[in-house]
Amino acid sequence: MKSTSVMFGAMTALGALTLSGCSYGSAAGLDAAPAALEPVAVTQPPARDPSQLQVLFWSDEQRSDRFRDMESWFAGHEVPAASNPRALAQGEPLPAALAQEIRQTMHDTGAAGVMVHKGGSVRFEEYGLGLTPDQRWTSFSVAKSFTSTLLGAAVKDGFIASLDDPVVQYVPGLAGSAYDGVSVRQIATMTSGVAWNEDYTDPGSDVAQMNRFVLEYGADAIVAQMRELDREAEPGEKWVYKTGETNLIGLVIENAVGLSLAEYSQEKIVEPAGFENGLFWMTDPRGGNIGGCCLSLTLSDYTRMGLFALEGGGDTVPEGWFAEAGDSLVDFGDSGFGYGYQWWTYPGAYGAQGIFGQSITIVPSEDLVLTVVSNWSTATSNDHRAAWRAVGAKIAAVD
């Protein structure tokens, strides 16, 4: 399926919510975590005025401070570091002129951290905005690619029989809605044909209305909102960016597996990828996690996630999963850009990206993972994305 209908966007945190944190039980035949591992913890921050939780309206100073401390603002799950963290070898520094260009781009784009892992070692690592190597930074829609990986894990584990299964098989509450006849694969590629407005500046958009549905419907918010959507195209014919559908993927996984995304990620991502520090993932009123947003990691652990994908994901996902998930299953015209299973695709590369400048870019041919976390002055910026693509191309060309 090829599409030229493009609406770039990324998920904002679910502001003005009081997010609950009840724990999921285990699915039959699958423990929440191997007995030797520290369990996932539920966290609940102090009660705050809902007006303080409107992330899109935080000031620049507030974002720089709070993006590295989201657990103090929102409820969530704390996944411990891996029992056997992956060491990241230090390699030869990048040429001085290129390193200086990276620093200048960091300054120009409000980056809080950049790591270049190329040819098996770290070639550049630098921090700004007060971020330190042991502090986490929020992901926004970079989380979508983590959720996609857990979808692959659920297929590998047999909890989801096929990506061609109907969505309503795993979320029966959507029966009779525009999601009748839509497959799991089609929501993974955002080609359901269901209408959605992801405009962050429009308070009436579907993405902005997520808050209202949570306040009105609580634990049933995702299904309640998605049931109200209309069909605008036949399934598989049109691509439209929909954070609501990634939240729906999260619900499909959690219903199929019987664990929250955070709990499942401990076994399927954190442990095999060897995260050196803990993972924080926001919860919603169901006690499950927000599939389209809102996990927090250190810069080096974002890089470990990129390496995990670059190396194929081991036994976590079906063989060839990342080659397919990171392929252009939807082409944006003849631009060379497209979309896979919750990964953006670029000429010769693929990656995860989120608003305010978060990204993991993977260039398989150059054994390169470029990780950037930022606090842009605006949620989206084509200029900032272009600046990092240009720098990334220079990094890829270096021996």
Cα–Cα distance for residue pair 399/11, rounded to 1 Å: 35
* 266-286: burial string, b at 16+ Cβ within 10 Å, e else: bbbbbbbbbbbbbbbbbbbbb
For residue 207, count other CB atoms closer than 10 A to its CB.
Answer: 22
Cα–Cα distance for residue pair 181/183, rounded to 1 Å: 7
pLDDT by 10-residue block (mean), the chain, 399 residues: 35 34 35 66 90 87 96 96 98 98 98 98 98 98 98 98 98 98 98 94 87 90 96 97 97 98 98 98 94 97 98 97 97 94 97 97 98 96 97 97
pLDDT of res. 180: 98
pLDDT of res. 203: 84
pLDDT of res. 32: 44
Which tokens sit at 278?
């803990």
Please, which residues bridge with residue 199 across strands?
Answer: none
> Can you give the pTM of this predicted structure?
0.91
pLDDT of res. 20: 29
Q: Are 231 and 178 in contact (CB under 8 A)?
A: yes
Cα–Cα distance for residue pair 5/202, rounded to 1 Å: 20
Give the sign of the dihedral formed by CA 321, CA 84, CA 284, CA 208: negative
pLDDT of res. 27: 36
Exposed (0-12), middle (13-18) or buried (19+): which is 118, by Cβ within 10 Å?
Answer: buried
pLDDT of res. 10: 34
Sorted by where each starts, the structural domains of the chain and their CATH numbers stand as 41-94+132-332 (3.40.710.10)
For residue 96, count other CB atoms closer than 10 A to its CB.
Answer: 8
- Dihedral angle over CA of 89, 278, 109, 6, nearest 10: 110
Cα–Cα distance for residue pair 362/398, rounded to 1 Å: 15
